[in-house]
């Protein structure tokens, strides 16, 4: 057990700071120990600050980002409900699948991979399906690097008494995200992306309209483990105090506490600006190497570029890993063999890493910025 140190510049996980790794090694407490509950409460408050919300029910689901997706779906959707899901990549496709497994009637709002949805397209989807009770959309589509605008979508959904559910797995802590100002009803993310914490927790936040929808359910939530009606009694307590639900991942909670503290010490605005600046530096370097971006509206945190003609996809990625210790991501789905994905997230979004991956990739391709 001596894992190599890698420069993690793929779609996740991102590099983890030593402070966070040290937090993992703190003494394990019981999940109902008053000291642990105080730490957990602090984590929930720190998450509210990072999500920019006052939602009381904001907590880390025990599981990775997909547990957050499933937690939102099983609690907000009942069998027979109509929902509209934006599908323009792997994670929109996955959200559609999860909703169907909940018994929802899913109307897919589709766009080519790498593209995003306009407010007019969303409005047209609701006009075609006025009984839809939820709009699910991916803010940061990790499979394509597409950055979905969110402002104004809640107003369209609310005009039809529908909830807005957002996947922010690759944007929380790296892109502008305002849950309350943008009237997002439910949202989920992951610890291993821009928060630079190990994988294992999925921050979620549910607003008043989402809670009202849960409270009005006519059927039992299909997942016992992810049933928010029980989870909220553990994470937020209430008049009767904390109610045991499951053994929370104690040391991962410590790690998330430290990771969130680092985010807020830097400041959200400064952190978002850093991600934008590193993206621009990487973009200029990649374009100087003759490489082109696939999405028309690119994320700062995940850069999806077209593999140049004649380049060996797997061979280049293997050289980057073996010779430079750099991990980048391959393309998924219809982009397999056609795209590379370079993540600049959290602790990994640095000038050193940008310049390193540009030099290494240029060497692997036999190119340099000066000669192109």
Look at residue 240 in the predicted model and tell me its pLDDT: 62
165: confidence class by pLDDT, cuts 50, 70, 90: very high
Instruction: Tell me: do 100 and 191 sit in the same domain.
Output: yes
Mean of the pLDDT values across residues 355-366? Answer: 97
Of 199, 233, 264, the position where a domain reaches its end is 264
> Which tens digit of pLDDT belongs to each residue from 15-33?
999 999 999 999 999 999 9
Q: What is the pLDDT of residues 192-218, one digit of tens each?
A: 999 999 999 999 999 999 999 999 999
Pairing of strands 302-306, 163-167: unpaired
Residues 55 and 103 in one domain: yes
Examine the domain organization and report whether 258 and 275 are in the same domain. Answer: no
Report the b/e string of 81-116 with b at 16+ CB within 10 A.
bbbbbbbbbbbbbbbbebbeebebbbbbbbbebbbb
Does residue 195 sit in the same domain as residue 238?
A: yes
Q: How confident is the model at residue 238 (pLDDT cuts 50, 70, 90)?
A: low
Q: Is the pLDDT of residue 237 over 80?
A: no
pLDDT at residue number 372: 40
Span 154-179, average pLDDT: 98
Same domain, 246 and 315: no
> Do 201 and 54 belong to one domain?
yes
Between the CA of residue 50 and those of 57, 134, 148, 204, 333, what are the distances in Å? Answer: 14, 24, 19, 11, 32
* pLDDT bracket for residue 335 (50, 70, 90): very high
pLDDT surpasses 50 at 134: yes
Task: Give a yes or no: residue 1 inside a domain.
Answer: no
CATH number of the domain that 342 lies in? 3.90.1150.10
Indicate if 121 and 173 belong to the same structural domain. yes
217 and 287 assigned to the same domain: no
- Identify the band that residue 242 occupies on the pLDDT scale cut at 50, 70 and 90: confident
Rounded mean pLDDT of 230-235? 94
Rounded Cα gap, residues 334 and 339, in angstroms: 10
Chain Cα centroid distance, residue 288 = 29
Same domain? 253 vs 272: no
Render pLDDT for 255-288 as a digit per residue (tens, 0 to 9).
Answer: 999 999 999 999 999 999 999 999 999 999 999 9
**Greater pLDDT, 369 or 15:** 15
Distance in angstroms (rounded) separating the CA atoms of residues 344 and 250? 28
pLDDT of residue 261: 98
pTM of the model: 0.96
pLDDT bin (cut points 50, 70, 90) of residue 241 is confident
Band of residue 62 on the pLDDT scale cut at 50, 70, 90: very high
Which pLDDT band, with edges at 50, 70 and 90, does 1 fall under? confident
Q: What is the mean pLDDT of residues 33-45?
A: 96
Q: Read off the CATH number of the domain in which 137 is found.
A: 3.40.640.10
Give residues with Cβ within 8 angstroms of 165, minimum separation 6.
72, 76, 134, 135, 136, 137, 184, 185, 186, 187
One domain, residues 32 and 110: yes
Q: What would the pLDDT profile of 301-333 be if each residue is shown by its tens digit?
A: 999 999 999 999 999 999 999 999 999 999 999
Domain boundary among 264, 291, 323: 264
| Within-domain flag for 114 | yes
Show the domain range for 70: 18-264
Q: Are 364 and 25 in contact (CB under 8 A)?
A: no
Question: What per-residue confidence (pLDDT) applies to 371?
Answer: 43
pLDDT digits (tens, 9 = 90+) for 102-118: 999 999 999 999 999 99
235, 264, 293 - which closes a domain: 264
- For the chain, how many structural domains are there in total? 2
Q: What percent of the chain has pLDDT over 70?
A: 98
The 10s digit of each residue's pLDDT in 66-98 is 999 999 999 999 999 999 999 999 999 999 999
């Amino acid at each position: 057990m001596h894992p190599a140190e890698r420069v993690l510049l793929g779609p996740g996980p991102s590099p983890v700071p030593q402070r966070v790794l040290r937090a993992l090694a703190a003494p394990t407490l019981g999940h109902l120990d008053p000291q642990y509950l105080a730490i957990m409460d602090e984590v929930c408050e720190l998450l509210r600050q990072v999500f920019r919300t006052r939602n009381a029910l904001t907590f880390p689901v025990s599981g990775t980002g997909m547990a957050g997706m499933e937690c939102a779906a099983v609690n907000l959707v009942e069998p027979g409900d109509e929902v509209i899901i934006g599908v323009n990549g792997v994670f929109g496709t996955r959200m559609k699948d999860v909703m169907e497994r909940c018994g929802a009637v899913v109307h897919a709002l589709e766009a080519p991979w790498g593209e995003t949805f306009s407010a007019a397209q969303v409005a047209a989807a609701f006009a075609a399906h006025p009984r839809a009770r939820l709009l699910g959309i991916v803010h940061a589509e990790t499979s394509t690097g597409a950055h979905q605008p969110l402002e104004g979508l809640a107003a369209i959904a609310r005009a039809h008494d529908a909830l807005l559910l957002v996947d922010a797995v690759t944007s929380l802590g790296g892109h502008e995200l305002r849950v309350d100002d943008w009237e997002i009803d439910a949202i989920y993310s992951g610890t291993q992306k821009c928060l630079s914490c190990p994988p294992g927790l999925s921050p979620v936040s549910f607003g008043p309209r989402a809670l009202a929808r849960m409270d009005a359910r006519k059927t039992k939530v299909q997942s016992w483990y992810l049933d928010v009606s029980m989870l909220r009694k553990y994470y937020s307590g209430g008049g009767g105090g904390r109610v045991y639900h499951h053994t929370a991942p104690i040391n991962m909670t410590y790690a998330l506490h430290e990771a969130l503290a680092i985010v807020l010490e830097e400041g959200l605005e400064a952190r978002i600006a850093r991600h934008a600046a590193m993206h621009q530096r990487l973009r200029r370097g990649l374009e100087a190497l003759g490489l082109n971006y696939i999405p028309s509206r690119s994320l700062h945190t995940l850069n999806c570029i077209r593999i140049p003609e004649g380049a060996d996809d797997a061979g280049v990625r293997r050289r980057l890993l073996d010779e430079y210790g750099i991990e980048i991501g391959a393309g998924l789905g219809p982009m397999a063999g056609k795209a590379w994905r370079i993540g600049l997230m959290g602790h990994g979004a640095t000038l050193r890493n940008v310049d390193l991956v540009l030099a290494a990739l240029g060497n692997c391709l036999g190119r340099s910025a000066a000669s192109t």
